[in-house]
Structure 1
């Protein structure tokens, strides 16, 4: 990793190199054959890395490509929201929910209302706004999306398996295992997950039982936080952090739905301070 690298907001990794997107919209790379980032890679908001080619999504919703192994992006990509790289193909998610592909793949007919995409080697995934997943490509086992899979909020795919993160914080896995057999299992202890990543022989999950989304003060303090389906949460307040004394907020008990929860403190009076915490009941 380059010495002094900081202000990184996103990364993308391929088998032999890494891309790091910095806060100023520039991209740093390191590893084998990583000298492809040119002066034109500015105002970047997202990056994707394939084995031999790279994509960058710019602030103006256009796409830059470098490297080899895939044909250049088609003309007219001017409203792109997300990008993904396979080995010899690339994907672009348009702002209208449609998907554009180039290289050795084609998008399933009628695919629409897509909110996220993922690609690896010769396979691709699309997450639709209704929480379902569509798969296409050449690896039969990666096409076997588990039946009744729904309520998905994030997807990831590698050359061996795919992952889906559901709104209840659980992870669904499908594809092949280390002996190349079919595998649709995930460890039962994986829960409270907020992010996932699939690698060639491993899966990663970031866990966070409590998740803050937004805090605002208008007439009364209002808390917004993401919940997991079926979990119970309690919001408490304290006027003195040093006292370790917390009081349940009236109306502050929430049952999770997988969406943002909103809790209003309408008991707060003018003047003074209140501190708030959110915790999941076990």
Structure 2
């Protein structure tokens, strides 16, 4: 038998490098084809959960709502129409929505409680029975329509319908979230696209809808926002104050809110980005630092919920809708708010 000379050290070294390269290649392929999609899916799922959790706080024209940890609703600000009773509203609620001069709250059993102005049938005192999973209230001058997503994905509508924003027969579809602006409505489909109906004078509600991979929507007075799965924000509609830049807003955002002329978005690090109308300090260009998990935008005031269950306010406080003094904030934060 012929003797085979032992492999040289150089040969062994090259063999090990070759095996190492193959191992790295296999590992990289796993990262790209298996791990990265899983990681992205997990990130997007967290973003969806955080975006939907935004429903625990809401800002109307001049009043504010927040869901307490015990399921009751705290109210502060203008109460001329009974939209923000100082004692709050007791109940087993899971979401809130503040309209122009009225309020909605979704109960754990799927029914909706309503209080405040009901001139257009937007807030019937007896509430609205149903198997609902999400609610929205119109929040512009003269606006008075309400939306609720049923468990089967269809949308129920009631209240003012002068622009087709609240058809009494509702809207069929596979929807998971809704938003109501001034005389127009948005609904997020399960596939990530957005359906729009109602007034479209400023392109805030294009009848053909908006295609995209969205996880949340927000409706201002006449501008719309949608949060993409990658964390960026798409904007359309009125941009008079820079509240809806056509190119959108890049960032790693997890929640959005639209007011009369300003926009807010919570970053993954908990800080809040602001753009648009800032005449009352409702949208400081530098943003607001903090450990926030949810935001809400009213006419000229803003709210943000911290991870510890306390609330921060800024902007117009004429009616006590956005207090910044320590004593009033101490009262509001005396009972922990729900953070989901």
Q: Give TM class, smaller chain.
A: 0.5 to 0.7
Contact 1:36–1:66 (CA under 8 A) maintained in structure 2: no
Task: Give distance in 2, aligned partners of 1:181 and 1:31.
Answer: 24
Gaps of 5+ in 1: 1-8, 211-282
**Does residue 168 in structure 1 map to residue 237 in structure 2?**
no
SS of match in other structure, 2:56: strand
> 1:16-95 counterparts in 2 under 5 A?
16-33=62-79, 35-36=84-85, 41-68=90-117, 69-71=119-121, 72-73=123-124, 77-86=129-138, 87-95=143-151
- The correspondence for 2:200, drawn from 139, 142, 149, is 139
CA radius of gyration, larger in: 2
Task: Give distance in 1, aligned partners of 2:236 and 2:225.
Answer: 7
Task: Give distance in 2, aligned partners of 1:21 and 1:182.
Answer: 28
Structure 1 pair 64–136 and aligned structure 2 pair: CA distance change class (3 A): same
Task: Say which structure is richer in strand.
Answer: 1
Task: Give distance in 1, aligned partners of 2:146 and 2:170.
Answer: 17
Contact 2:74–2:89 (CA under 8 A) maintained in structure 1: no
1:103 deviates by 1.0
What's the counterpart of residue 255 of structure 2? 195
1:106-155 Cα deviation digits (max 9, x unpaired): 34876310011000221110000111101111233212379862111110
Task: Give distance in 2, aligned partners of 1:96 and 1:125.
Answer: 17
TM-score (norm 2): 0.53
What's the counterpart of residue 177 of structure 1? 239
What's the counterpart of residue 4 of structure 1? none
Structure 1 pair 44–134 and aligned structure 2 pair: CA distance change class (3 A): same
Contact 2:110–2:130 (CA under 8 A) maintained in structure 1: yes
Task: Say which structure is richer in helix.
Answer: 2
Contact 2:111–2:127 (CA under 8 A) maintained in structure 1: no
SS of match in other structure, 1:60: coil
Contact 2:227–2:233 (CA under 8 A) maintained in structure 1: yes
1:56-80 Cα deviation digits (max 9, x unpaired): 1111111111111431459872201
What's the counterpart of residue 272 of structure 1? none
Identify which of structures 1 and 2 has the higher relative contact order when contacts are C-alpha pairs closer than 8 Å and 6+ apart. Answer: 2
